[in-house]
Homo-oligomer: A and B are copies of this chain.
């Protein structure tokens, strides 16, 4: 049956929200179209009213989550202290334990390489984050700020990937703490 336009738009967004959460939690190949649709409260059929294919959803969900993340980071750029705090929170066990709502790069960076449709939005997102960090994190020397940002982001993503992969809570916390200590 036919539904009000507003409802349709809202469902479209709910698919994006659930997809970007589930993809981050289980990986692109670890989630099925049916699971995503179930999470939005619909059956799997109408998925193709909203997206051309699972591949198209992957790309769209990266774009959606990237945009949301950039907005979130922007709320911290008023003060250098808030930027430092953002990085400290990033490298916390709480973030490690909630990949679904956490950093896109740490959660899906490794899979983006094999999913061509997602690379464009992912790259654009990374460029945006580098720029914000370069401009607003309290770096000692302006001319080295971009390099410093890239080094910091690499550490953050690598630390999160390793902290999540490891089966020893002790080692996992050690990784987070050692990298955290470099940025405060």
CB within 8 Å of B: which residues of A?
A: 26-27, 29-30, 99, 105-114, 119-120, 122-123, 126-127, 146-147, 150-151, 153-159, 161-162, 164-168, 171, 174-175, 178-179, 181-182
A-B contact pairs, 26 of them (CB 8 A): A27-B29, A27-B114, A29-B29, A105-B161, A107-B110, A108-B110, A109-B162, A113-B164, A113-B165, A119-B165, A119-B166, A122-B167, A123-B165, A123-B166, A123-B167, A123-B168, A126-B162, A126-B165, A147-B178, A147-B181, A150-B178, A151-B178, A153-B162, A155-B158, A158-B158, A161-B161
Dominant secondary structure at the A interface: helix
